[in-house]
Structure 1
Amino acid sequence: MAMGRTDALLRPEDNCWRIEHADRFSLIVDADDYFCAAREAMLAAKKRIMLIGWDFDARITLCRPGEKDEAPAKLDDFVIWLVERNPDLEIYVLRWDVGMVKALFRGNTLLTLLRWKAHARITARADSVHPFAASHHQKIVAIDDSIAFCGGIDMTSERWDTRDHADDNPDRVLPGTTKQYKPWHDATSLFDGKAAAAIGELARDRWEAACGQKLEPLDQSAPQWPPSFSPMLENVDLAIARSYPDMKNRPAIIEIERLYETLIADAKTLIYAESQYFASRRIAIAIGKRLAEPDGPEVVIVNPLTADGWLEPVAMDTARARLVAALRRLDKHGRLRIYHPQTAKGAPIYVHAKVTIVDDRVLRVGSSNFNNRSLRLDTECDVALCVDDDAQKATVAGLRDNLIAEHLGVDRQTVTDEYAASGSMIATIEKLRGPGRTLGPYEIPELNDVEKWLADNEILDPEGPEAIFESFANDNRGKRGLFRGWHMVRQIRMRRARG
């Protein structure tokens, strides 16, 4: 592992599990590229493929629309074809158990499971090893302990989209139908080397915890990098961070929480983040401390307009409204902005990506969101890298500018040039925002008393297994709640005001 900045920022057994070397690394944006890269990587698999996820839909196709090769297009047929073609290959699929139950009522899922179960070298299981109301949320793929994917994209329906997020894309439809679903923005990572072997170990550990079966590690073979994708970075040290809830015989792991707090505290000029939610009290407090500083960093967060589902908007959107209102009171220097992306015709683009880029040095991508569940209740896996080399720093900055350019409907160089001229990403975005494809500013909605109570008491987004069952009696005030710990931020602000 390279010495220097990485050692100071990324610390094993504190804000990450391990730091391992990757010969090649790429950030993959949106599922059009991810599905293609995953397909190419699985086609080259020799011994083992492990698919660990929140959800899988075997009806989806992994190849791009219109593309053909000798393998079947649909995931269910593709998995069977892979093992029948290669007698040495074994495939393991692990998904959240509640998601599995829901999937049984989706199309031909039951038939697919029976077909997979009938094959001796395909094993599909449901992961039920989590506390009440928690979920298995990791989204990782480990191939031959040599190639790995880690990010936020599930191999399921309603995820595929291209980076232009066209309003009327005829291929963005539910499997087996012509019904369109909403535009979807997402991200994951691809890497090899010892970092990929570590993800293989993590996948085997999760499989053993969920299924009771111990899988042996593989001798690392020469990684078969997907031929259609060039690596964005080479020779980087990659930190792997996890969330794991407190359970019997296994203590909680809060590496991701500590990683977020470290990255926010260390930022010099800019924190750029994409997250499905903004509902974490701890992350908001960390950001609030930086906003209270006269020379702290800008904070730019890209969220969906509203959370997906029927329950999530009540839990996530109300907490976001309360936290943002509190942060704006601290933001005397105007350094916080939250935006929502929209299509050329003004339709909301759903943000499912979980990416954080700090200055031009740090890139984090994974399955965790800015919400309490991701930090202490669900199982999560993120990866992060910190670079010092000028060429690598330029690449990290370019990845950030490329994401922002995607949302604004402009080319990356335009964002890079405007940011260099102004020195402010907020000023850059405000100058480049316009009609059509753009980023719209977040507006705090009016909340009723019930919504405020739900948000303030974290009823639907608990911090961990124990928080679900905490009492709401008066003598318990201060032990839970969205604004617990904010006195520290207020004290910092008061000290700053006194000079």
Structure 2
Amino acid sequence: MAEVQQLEKGDHLLFTDWRGDPDELVTDDGPTIAELFAAAARRGVLVKGLLWRSHLDKLAYSEEENRNLGETIREAGGEVLLDQRVRRGGSHHQKLVVLRHPDRPERDVAFVGGIDLCHSRRDDAEHHGDRQAVRMAGAYGPTPPWHDVQLELRGPVVGALDLTFRERWCDPAPLDQHGPISTAMDKLKHADLHADRMPPQPPDPPPAGPMTVQVLRTYPAMRPRYSFAPLGEQTVARGYTKAIKRARRLIYLEDQYLWSTEVAQLFAEALQANPELHLIAVVPRHPDVDGRFALPPNQVGRQQAIDLCKSAASDRVHVFDLENHAGTPIYVHAKVCVVDDVWCSVGSDNFNRRSWTHDSELSCAVLDDTVDEREPRDPAGLGDRARRFPRELRLALMREHLDADDDKDLLDPVSSVRRMTEAADALRDWRDGDRRGPRPPGRLIPHSTERLPWLQRVWATPAYRLIYDPDGRPWRDRRAGRW
């Protein structure tokens, strides 16, 4: 909020999002997202936004909310477009805010990760939930606890993220590509269907630290083609593939879904090839939806992925979910991966085929030049040496999940696995033992999946593959099995 409030006339505020709720409070006392961005536009800030046009609210999506946020900003002098340049059944899932200061480039900043500008996202480490909540599966209660991660980025990478926004903004393809009815509805509601010209992109800001940040993206192969990615783009998938193949001791990930046998196969092959490699995955306890028809396809994909990983190394795959201190499950929306404390990534993409091929996604991989001198100095044994930021990211997340205020047994991959497993087992046993005695510290519980009855699997598996986790690659890449 503070960065936006400091923007002045002539500065730029650019954002993309999957969902934007105009009334979402930024702090307990306000302002709302709409008020914050509209106030910037009234000060003379260039405010431009791209929101996924979304499906109907009746289908538990956010078409009206996205439209209303755009209208509020437009009335203040900004411009927000509802963008449906996606494959059928796909979405724009990127979460990006870029703040540029053409006369003060050293102040440029961007935010990338899993957090949308919408309800349920404003939670903290206590995980009591956002009082402005979206409707979710009943197990999460009226204000679902929410776990997420976002990066604040400075330096030349801000220019690369500015370019990511501008490529979509300037794409000449029509905003709405899915039929005359939706186009007619947009016209009746006076939607802005044409992007105004952008001013020239400012030069990249100067270096701001010792980290190298690589922008990774997903765009599907589609028609009409993206002008900036005619065959689509799968650099998210390729970045993860290279990092996972180099893993030797510990892959730590947090993910909303962890679906897809294609993605799980990468983990399975790495586990088979490296007998000292462990995989830690933190996932939601339950899907975000209930229902006879919506729930089984969500369950079958994760079950298949976890089963495939465990078939490769059952004793080295550790899957956990989270609950707050009141016992309410925490919905894990984060998309984080740390490999051997050397490489890490935070973004909007989940570990599934949809995120790696079908929707638009945005992630940032980070390699810190600063070597971490704490033992083990080279966990992978490849000469890469542990780096400060990836290690600190992993430790910060583990400390939160363990209610820990120290790094005891967390630096070494094997001992960190042991400490997390022991804490999770203790909390599970306390919960299953009628909660007798003091509650053990931590929020981790061993995650369990249930095999669906065969009748449900018969229809849920194809529904999962075709609807929930589709493939957006060109047909030649699908046939060759490459990203």
TM class by smaller structure: 0.7 to 0.9
1:252 to 211, 232, 237: 232
Fraction of identical pairs, as percent: 23
Contact 1:55 1:100 in 2 (8 A): no
* Unpaired stretches in structure 1, ≥5 consecutive residues: 1-38, 67-71, 224-232, 471-478, 486-499
TM-score between both structures, scaled by the size of structure 1: 0.74
Structure 2 distance, partners of 1:50, 1:100, is: 25
Residue 405 in structure 1 maps to residue 399 in structure 2 = yes
Residue 292 in structure 1 maps to residue 272 in structure 2 = yes
Equivalent runs, 1:172-321 vs 2, <5 Å: 172-174=131-133, 180-209=142-171, 210=175, 211-220=194-203, 234-248=209-223, 249=225, 250-293=230-273, 295-310=275-290, 313-321=295-303
Residue 365 in structure 1 maps to residue 365 in structure 2 = no
Residue 440 in structure 1 maps to residue 448 in structure 2 = no
Residues 246 and 421 of structure 1, relative CA distance in 2, 3 Å threshold: closer
Which position in structure 2 is the counterpart of 1:137? 93
Contact 2:366 2:390 in 1 (8 A): no
Residue 353 in structure 1 maps to residue 315 in structure 2 = no
Contact 2:423 2:444 in 1 (8 A): no
Cα displacement (A) at 1:154: 0.1
Residue 55 in structure 1 maps to residue 19 in structure 2 = yes
- Name the count of aligned residue pairs: 405
Residues 285 and 318 of structure 1, relative CA distance in 2, 3 Å threshold: same
Letter aligned with residue 118 of structure 1: E
Letter aligned with residue 159 of structure 2: A
Residues 440 and 83 of structure 1, relative CA distance in 2, 3 Å threshold: same
Cα displacement (A) at 1:51: 1.5
SS of residue paired to 2:467: coil
Structure 1 distance, partners of 2:197, 2:458, is: 45
Structure 1 distance, partners of 2:133, 2:259, is: 29
Letter aligned with residue 131 of structure 2: R
Cα displacement (A) at 1:76: 1.9
Which position in structure 2 is the counterpart of 1:461? 468
TM-score between both structures, scaled by the size of structure 2: 0.77
1:380 to 361, 367, 386: 361
* Unpaired stretches in structure 2, ≥5 consecutive residues: 102-107, 135-140, 176-193, 373-385, 428-438
SS of residue paired to 2:54: helix
Deviations 1:461-495 (A, max 9, x none): 3442479xx9xxxxxxxx89xxx98xxxxxxxxxx
Structure 1 distance, partners of 2:3, 2:294, is: 34
Deviations 1:175-204 (A, max 9, x none): 9xxx94110000111111110011011111
Segments ≥4 residues shifted beyond 6 Å: none
Cα displacement (A) at 1:393: 1.7
Cα displacement (A) at 1:257: 0.9
Cα displacement (A) at 1:428: 1.7
Residues 214 and 298 of structure 1, relative CA distance in 2, 3 Å threshold: farther
Contact 2:98 2:110 in 1 (8 A): yes
Which position in structure 1 is the counterpart of 2:189? none
Letter aligned with residue 244 of structure 1: Y
Letter aligned with residue 83 of structure 1: A
Structure 2 distance, partners of 1:115, 1:421, is: 51
Letter aligned with residue 370 of structure 1: F
Structure 2 distance, partners of 1:201, 1:75, is: 24
